Amino acid sequence: MAAGDQIREVFPEIVVDARAVRAFLIRVVTYLAGEAGSRQFLDTGAPPVDDFGAVGCKP
Protein backbone atom coordinates (compact mmCIF):
# COMPACT_ATOMS: atom_id res chain seq x y z
CA MET A 1 0.00 0.00 0.00
CA ALA A 2 1.34 3.44 -0.94
CA ALA A 3 2.09 6.01 1.77
CA GLY A 4 -0.70 8.28 0.54
CA ASP A 5 -3.23 5.49 0.90
CA GLN A 6 -2.04 4.78 4.43
CA ILE A 7 -2.38 8.43 5.40
CA ARG A 8 -5.86 8.58 3.88
CA GLU A 9 -6.92 5.57 5.96
CA VAL A 10 -5.93 7.37 9.17
CA PHE A 11 -7.03 10.85 8.04
CA PRO A 12 -9.80 10.34 5.43
CA GLU A 13 -10.69 14.04 5.19
CA ILE A 14 -7.18 14.86 3.97
CA VAL A 15 -8.28 14.73 0.32
CA VAL A 16 -11.03 17.32 0.85
CA ASP A 17 -8.74 19.46 3.00
CA ALA A 18 -5.91 19.37 0.46
CA ARG A 19 -8.25 20.38 -2.35
CA ALA A 20 -9.65 23.23 -0.24
CA VAL A 21 -6.15 24.52 0.56
CA ARG A 22 -5.16 24.33 -3.13
CA ALA A 23 -8.31 26.24 -4.17
CA PHE A 24 -7.65 28.88 -1.50
CA LEU A 25 -4.04 29.37 -2.63
CA ILE A 26 -5.13 29.74 -6.25
CA ARG A 27 -7.73 32.36 -5.23
CA VAL A 28 -5.13 34.26 -3.21
CA VAL A 29 -2.51 34.24 -5.96
CA THR A 30 -5.13 35.23 -8.56
CA TYR A 31 -6.20 38.16 -6.38
CA LEU A 32 -2.64 39.25 -5.62
CA ALA A 33 -1.61 39.09 -9.27
CA GLY A 34 -4.74 40.84 -10.49
CA GLU A 35 -6.26 43.36 -8.10
CA ALA A 36 -3.28 43.85 -5.80
CA GLY A 37 -0.76 44.09 -8.64
CA SER A 38 1.84 41.67 -7.26
CA ARG A 39 4.23 40.45 -9.93
CA GLN A 40 6.60 38.18 -8.01
CA PHE A 41 5.77 35.07 -6.03
CA LEU A 42 7.99 32.79 -4.02
CA ASP A 43 6.62 29.30 -3.54
CA THR A 44 8.77 27.43 -1.04
CA GLY A 45 6.50 24.40 -0.72
CA ALA A 46 6.24 21.15 -2.62
CA PRO A 47 5.80 21.35 -6.39
CA PRO A 48 2.19 22.45 -6.88
CA VAL A 49 -0.25 21.00 -9.35
CA ASP A 50 -0.96 24.49 -10.67
CA ASP A 51 2.28 26.48 -10.70
CA PHE A 52 1.59 29.71 -8.79
CA GLY A 53 3.54 31.72 -11.34
CA ALA A 54 1.35 30.34 -14.10
CA VAL A 55 -1.82 31.02 -12.08
CA GLY A 56 -0.67 34.59 -11.42
CA CYS A 57 -0.11 35.16 -15.14
CA LYS A 58 -3.57 34.03 -16.25
CA PRO A 59 -5.77 36.85 -17.48
pLDDT truncated to tens, each residue of the chain (59 aa)? Answer: 899 899 999 999 999 998 998 899 889 888 988 888 888 877 776 655 666 666 666 66
pLDDT value, residue 11: 95
pLDDT at residue 6 in the model: 93
What pLDDT score was predicted for residue 42? 76
Domain ranges of the chain: 3-57
Please report which residue ranges of 1-59 form alpha helices under DSSP H: 3-10, 14-34, 52-57
Distance CA 25, CA 19 (A): 10
pTM of the model: 0.64
The pLDDT value given to residue 20: 93
